[in-house]
Amino acid sequence: MKAFDVIVVGGGHAGTEAALASARAGASTLLLTQNIETIGQMSCNPAIGGIGKSHLVKEIDALGGAMGIAADRAGIHWRILNSRKGPAVQATRAQADRALYKAAIRKIVETQVGLSIFQQSVVDLRFKGQKVDSVITDSGLRIKTKGLVLTVGTFLGGVIHVGLNKQTGGRMGDGPSNLLAQKLRDIEFGVDRLKTGTPPRIDGKTVNFGLLEEQPGESQRPTMSFLGKPEDHPRQVLCHIAHTNEKTHDIIRKGLDRSPLFTGQIEGVGPRYCPSIEDKIERFSDKNQHQIFIEPEGLGTQELYPNGISTSLPYDVQLDLVRSIKGFEDAHITRPGYAIEYDFFEPRNLYPSLQTKKIVGLFFAGQINGTTGYEEAAAQGLIAGLNAARLSQEKEPWVPKRSEAYVGVMIDDLVTMGTKEPYRMFTSRAEYRLILRQDNADRRLTPKGRELGIIDEKRWTKFCEKRDRIDEISKKIKKIFISAEDKKVNAMLNKPLGREYSVFEVMKRPEIKGMALLEAAGLKMISSSVAEQIEIDCKYQGYISRQEKEVEKNKSHFDQPIPSDFCFDSIPGLSNEAKQKLALIKPKNLGQAGRIPGMTPAAVSLLMVYLKKGDSIQNVQAD
């Protein structure tokens, strides 16, 4: 088989974005998957987005990725979360029809120029020295490549638990990738185990929805993609909310002796923010009920996903616990819930480009790096795929900074601090939360994406239109004044104006809605997305410029690069602990060095002095 610039192993959320980004960047790309039918499969809950997560989706979208577009084509129930708490923490979530989502991703992957799909299991990797050379598949094919992106999800050494029964597998119904796992274990990337779980699925026709609380979607539906329109959405459905009760909790407590989680059978660490129902009941024993979100699996199926009761208890306990819930008295379980343990590799062994430090050309993305969530995986996939392509083209890698994107926050967290539990994005992880909003992902990243060559003409044209319109209106509103007697505007305000103010000034008042004020000021024909940006720019101006100043101030300091061959041992004043950590993480710049847990400001100062010393010696030699 012919050689490729980049090979991506795995067709999940990380793999598809990786393959697409690589192809968009102009590299000849091959996507290898065990099963083409599972490309774009949502293995866990049927939803895209959520707090911190829609931020990631919109960033992926702003860089030309597929996730947002697919979500728009598959979203059957839309919610705006935190709609009244401020734009920085506002988020979008869509319940997605699994089949529609998969089909949308498949279509985007299949139509991408420069991207080939091939159904093969990878059983071995070949290196030349410390460099990627080729992959060997189960049919004995050897395919050469310059960049290799592994996005193997939970398939490495995957073990599935239902009660005390366990079996190997990467997802219920699919086998694990054990040969590959062994190969990677041999390279000593620092392997560890994590755990995640799913709830039992329920047959919708056996549920009494009349007893459940209805949760309708938004009437004014948002979209996930910059290019999306509400008209892209399929038919909308309702979600429901149910609750566990004391009886449920008793059933669970009685079954704990057969819970692999509590008998010590499961060694992997699970996420604290997504505990199994047995965990919740043990840890918060004072709560007499827990919420369950009843999510439809899709338009073409009756199956339901009861989000909130992920469990690895035995089937008989699962059935009893489900049937103890109001409305589920006669429920039938279509697929039992299970816990899955899998290998992940110490992400501190990666550069921010997601290339491994040990093997040139080998990139990791997704759950293999200790993260959880479709959005987290997809975002890493995009960065890994892009950088694999850039490596094959002998270009410098690109990774957004913490001040530029949530993707940057996530990657920096992973490669600098590692993780002990499956890593999920939260807005509180971002110190520049006020400038990293979901509403401005396009403004933050699309120009950069264009520069990197991964933004097509259609998106770029539409982006430029919006950008120019924002610039134009921003200038205008400083020159248009509202008189003190303006009835329309005063009616919007808690306190009347009192004197003449510019539209810009009035916009800063918290009670003002952007679009309404612009219309009152005679500025017509403005799209809601432009009005939104104008409003937020005005209201947040002080904060945004404060954070921007902070970014600017730190730039010269923290962006100071550290050569990859820099010898930290040569710094006499550093503690051994600091030296070890620096040698392991090989920080790219002073800022990253400073964020390594346990690094003191004095240690960073020392590092700065010795970086300078290294520079000067080189200069002397160059002279």
Partner 1 sequence: MAYIKDTIAAIATPPGKGGVGIVRISGPVAVRIGKEISKRETEPRVATLVSFYDDRGRTIDQGLLICFQGPHSFTGEDLIELQGHGGPVVMDLLLKRAIQLGARQAGPGEFSQRAFLNDKIDLVQAEAIADLINSSSEQAALGSMRSLQGDFSNQINSTLKKLVQLRVLVEAAADFPEDGIEAEINKDEKEKLKYLLNQLDQLLEGAKEGHAFSQGVSLVLTGKPNAGKSSLMNALCKRDVSIVTEIPGTTRDVVREDAIIEGVTFRILDTAGTRQAKNKIEAEGVKRALKEVERADIVLNLVDVSENIELEMMEELEKNKRAKEIVVYNKVDLLHKKSIPSSFQCVSVKTGGGLQKLKKRLIKELGVLSGGDSIFSARRRHITAIEQARIHILEAIGFIGIENQIDLLAEELRLAQLALDSITGTFTSDDLLGEIFNNFCIGK
Residues of the shown chain interacting with partner 1 in the complex, contacts defined by CB under 8 A: 45, 51-52, 81-82, 84-89, 271-275, 280, 283-284, 287, 290-293, 307-308, 417, 426-429, 431, 433-434, 510, 540, 543, 552-553, 556-557, 560, 571-573, 597, 600-602, 605-606, 608-610, 612-613, 616-617
Q: Please give the Cα distance from 568 to 611 (Å, whole number).
A: 10
The strand ranges marked E within 484-568 are 501-502
Name the amino acid, one letter, at 182: Q
CB of 543 to partner 1, least distance (A): 6
Closest CA relative to residue 350, chosen from 430, 412, 277: 412
CA distances from 145 to 36, 124, 148, 156, 359 (A): 21, 13, 7, 22, 13
Tokens representing residue 203 in the block? 């047959």
Spatial distance between the Cα atoms of 155 and 176, rounded to a whole number of angstroms: 5
Report the amino acid identity of residue 604: V
Radius of gyration of the chain (CA): 26
CB of 575 to partner 1, least distance (A): 10
- Smallest CA-to-CA distance from 199 within 290, 318, 97, 324 is with 318
Tokens 């505007």: give the residue: 489
In the complex, minimum distance from the CB of residue 189 to partner 1, in angstroms, rounded to a whole number: 23
How near is the Cβ of 581 to partner 1 at its closest, in Å?
15
The DSSP code sequence of 12-63 is SHHHHHHHHHHHHTT--EEEEES-GGGTT---S-SEEE-TTHHHHHHHHHHT
Q: How far is the CB of 375 from partner 1 (least distance, A)?
A: 15
Select 223 or 307, whichever has its Cβ closest to partner 1.
307
Looking at beta carbons only, is 52 or 449 nearer to partner 1?
52
**Which of residues 24 and 402 has its CB atom nearest to partner 1 in the complex?**
402
Is 257 within 8 Å of 282 (Cβ atoms)? Answer: no
Length of the chain: 623
Q: What tokens were used for 424?
A: 């999920």
Task: Give least dist CB 447 to partner 1, A.
Answer: 25
Cβ 311 to partner 1, closest distance in Å?
A: 13
| Nearest approach, Cβ of residue 69 and partner 1 (Å) | 25
Strands 201-203, 75-81: pairing kind: unpaired
